[in-house]
Structure 1
Amino acid sequence: MGACMAVYAVASEIFAPIITWAAQIYGERPLAISGGIISSLALCLASQVGSLTSFGILLFLSGIGSSMAVMSLTSAIPKYFPDNIQNVFGFICAVGAIGIMVFPPVNQLLIFIYGWRGALLIFGAINAHSVVCGALVRPLKSPHEENYTQLEGDSIMSDRNVEAAPNEHSRIRFHMNKLLTYLTFLFIDHPRFTFIVISEILSGVIWAGWVIFLVPHALNKGIPDQMASFLSSSGALGTIIGRLIMGYVIQGGHVTSFQFYIILGLLNTGAFCLDLISESFAVLAILAFINGLASGTFIVLSFCAAAEILGMTMQWEDTV
């Protein structure tokens, strides 16, 4: 069962680069809607199957659909809020952190009342709201449309569109070259972006390990059960506050997104080191708050730092 849940998480993350690239070509709205439908249907079907293999496959499909919905909607945010990306990302993900706090007790309650199949079916239905979110993404008018004047007898396609529409024989080569250019732009021309990618891989491992072992680690230090559970609340509070203040700190002009990313990394490292020698509940709660603030903000800040490095407010408008 644990492997099946890991499959969902891997599918949600591993296809993200391809999905964001596809969103630039086909648009965020259709990808978000179709992703929401795939994810919700897969969860609903998973609640009814009797085979572990089928359950894992459906969770894999649900993870892909979830990535389509989330990453498409995420990539649309800078288009609508080009001058306020940090605050918008921070607010949205802070609300998401509240959802993380609410999910465990709600999940346990639904399982107690309806069983795990009924709970999964309900979550599949709730997940269908991402379809509505995708439908609400209204396409922005391209700045190229205002400057385009069609000449008499001219094709309806601009030179830019002609370049993007090769003949049938070279279509695959065209898209492969375009993908290669895209990857070169990310990893070769901007080495700091590579740093962000590697750091995110490691921070994902750290975040997962911290969430899983925070309470057992406290119990091992002799903290009572109920008090140990409050460490999770302290970490979640740090995540919410970190994501809310992130935009104001960066837009205040004191640090850049990339510099703030490094500062949080140092805070996170320091808190983990101090945890090794700490036994007091009060100290552990403070350290959990710092870990939650740093690790939880990393996830959001990575988008802002990447946009800053790549100059993304950017070129996305040129690819509409």
Structure 2
Amino acid sequence: MSGDTTDGSAWMVCLGTFIIMVLETGMVKSLGVLLPVLQQQFTTKTWMIGLMISLVPGIGVVTCPLAGALSKRFSARWTVIIFCIISSAGLIVGSLVSSVHMLSISFLFTGFGIGAEAIVVGELARYFNDNEFRKASAFARAGIAIGIIIMPLLTQFLNDVYGWRGTMLILGAINLHCVISGALLRPVSCNLQDVPKIQHHTSLQNTTKCGSEQQKTGLCSMISINIWYYLDLELFCDVIFLTRMVYSFGSGYLLTGWLIYLVPSAMDVGISSYKAAFLATLGGIGHLCGFIAFPVINNVLSNSVILYSASASNCLFLLLHPLSSARHSYVGMGISSAGLGVGRPLGLLAGYQIVKENIEQSRMTNAFMWFVVAHSLGTILSGFLSGWIYDKTGSYTISFVILSAAALLSVSLQPFADYKQLTKEATHYSPVPLKE
């Protein structure tokens, strides 16, 4: 279902994806480290700053459909490059603002990097077959772990030396490396990969059909046909795709709440800033272990089993954090972060593998793009709700309990997809009696 990767260009795409994952995920975590400083600087409520930071991944609700359509109309390479330039400019301009409203606008532009992230993940799936994609996806997504390990401590150091304005300026300059990574996205046709002939012919037929329909119908019909084609809205008729959308929403709520409020929640119970930032580093180390272990575990367990097990462990480790905070147990909080770090990438990669095996290759980029849209919706809700609960209660306990519930709710529809898949396979492989 994929092409040949022996020329090495596919692995260069994987390297570019890895770098973008490091910087984009690390950027969200870095802004979470700056939350207490920004709150004091602009003298506003916790939920306001949390909501503003969540706008960075949350704006993916808008940028991801735009990125998917532009990459399909033009090219993934130039779309990623332009979006990364806008994202870096948002950070740089954010270092110069004088009001909380201007800062929120700069964060909106910073969120364009999430659209670029959605594209590279979808493009990566087009360069590798199912077996190679398991390894390539694990390597590329390990960039999330590296970003969580490196960026919190780096941001805390930069803030101590240069202040929050200098920190955002430097982070914007570092983020420009995503532009170089985007340039590594060679078109699939330049690689040794050939799109399956059936899908190619189907696309040509659809394009011809759209052209003939445009001559017969009005402007509104023409626009709707193009939107349906460029955004692959037919994906919403697929049960497996819809279950992944639900999972992405819950994953976005879980990850963003953890990224933004982990360090502030630790500092709230008297943990020093560097020790609190190191909790995020432990989570990053756990992420790295999870990404490395997935190809090995996937040889033994099915994707669905990994998905259920990872979601249950995420729930338990998230509940451990408020329990440890109540006892002022730094060791317990460290175990919580490391355990969540291991469990989350296992579930993430298992979900991507399910998508890779069940969704057409020509729709892969837009499929992953829509997953990021659902992820962004969860992000916005988490950034606001978790901070609002803290403002009302003065404690992060309820926020982390809700985060743990999101880990279980994210796989609530997965049994329906498993049942449908089993029914489909049984129908496909059931023996047909021969006529005598």
Partners of 2:195 and 2:333 in 1: CA distance: 55
C-alpha displacement at 1:37, in angstroms? 1.5
**2:100 is matched by which residue type in structure 1?**
L
Partners of 1:144 and 1:71 in 2: CA distance: 20
Structure 2 residue aligned with 1:261: 307
Structure 1 pair 223–68 and aligned structure 2 pair: CA distance change class (3 A): closer
1:190-233 CA-partner distances (Å, limit 9, x unpaired): 2x332222222223222333445556767889999987765444
Partners of 2:263 and 2:195 in 1: CA distance: 54
Structure 1 residue aligned with 2:24: none
**2:247 is matched by which residue type in structure 1?**
S
2:106 pairs with 1:58: yes
Structure 1 residue aligned with 2:236: 187
Q: How many residues align?
A: 302
2:196 pairs with 1:171: no
C-alpha displacement at 1:60, in angstroms? 0.4
Partners of 2:274 and 2:163 in 1: CA distance: 25
**1:37 is matched by which residue type in structure 2?**
I
Give the match's secondary structure for 2:59: helix
Q: Determine what percentage of the aligned residue pairs are the same residue.
A: 25
**1:106 is matched by which residue type in structure 2?**
L
Structure 2 residue aligned with 1:293: 342
C-alpha displacement at 1:77, in angstroms? 0.4
Partners of 1:132 and 1:42 in 2: CA distance: 18
> Aligned-residue CA RMSD in angstroms?
3.6
Structure 2 residue aligned with 1:112: 160
Partners of 1:228 and 1:53 in 2: CA distance: 28
2:297 pairs with 1:249: yes
TM-score between the two structures when normalised by the length of structure 1: 0.77
- Unmatched runs of 5 consecutive residues or more in structure 1: 148-156
- Unmatched runs of 5 consecutive residues or more in structure 2: 1-37, 39-48, 366-436
Structure 1 residue aligned with 2:208: 162
Partners of 1:195 and 1:160 in 2: CA distance: 27
Structure 1 pair 249–42 and aligned structure 2 pair: CA distance change class (3 A): same
1:116-168 CA-partner distances (Å, limit 9, x unpaired): 22221221121111111111211122747999xxxxxxxxx965643455458
**2:168 is matched by which residue type in structure 1?**
L
**1:32 is matched by which residue type in structure 2?**
V
Partners of 1:138 and 1:47 in 2: CA distance: 33
Partners of 2:82 and 2:346 in 1: CA distance: 29
**1:71 is matched by which residue type in structure 2?**
A
Q: 1:304 aligns with which of 348, 353, 359?
A: 353
2:253 pairs with 1:205: yes
Single out whichever of 282-291 and 42-51 deviates more from structure 2. Answer: 282-291
**2:343 is matched by which residue type in structure 1?**
A
C-alpha displacement at 1:281, in angstroms? 6.0
Matches within 5 A, 1:1-320: 2=49, 3-12=51-60, 15-63=63-111, 65-83=112-130, 84-141=132-189, 143=194, 159=205, 161-163=207-209, 165=211, 166=214, 169=219, 170-178=221-229, 182-183=232-233, 185-190=234-239, 192-211=240-259, 214=262, 231-250=279-298, 252=299, 254-272=300-318, 285-308=334-357, 310-313=358-361, 316=364
Partners of 2:270 and 2:95 in 1: CA distance: 39
C-alpha displacement at 1:23, in angstroms? 2.5
Looking at both structures, which has the greater relative contact order when contacts are Cα pairs under 8 Å and sequence separation is at least 6?
Answer: 2
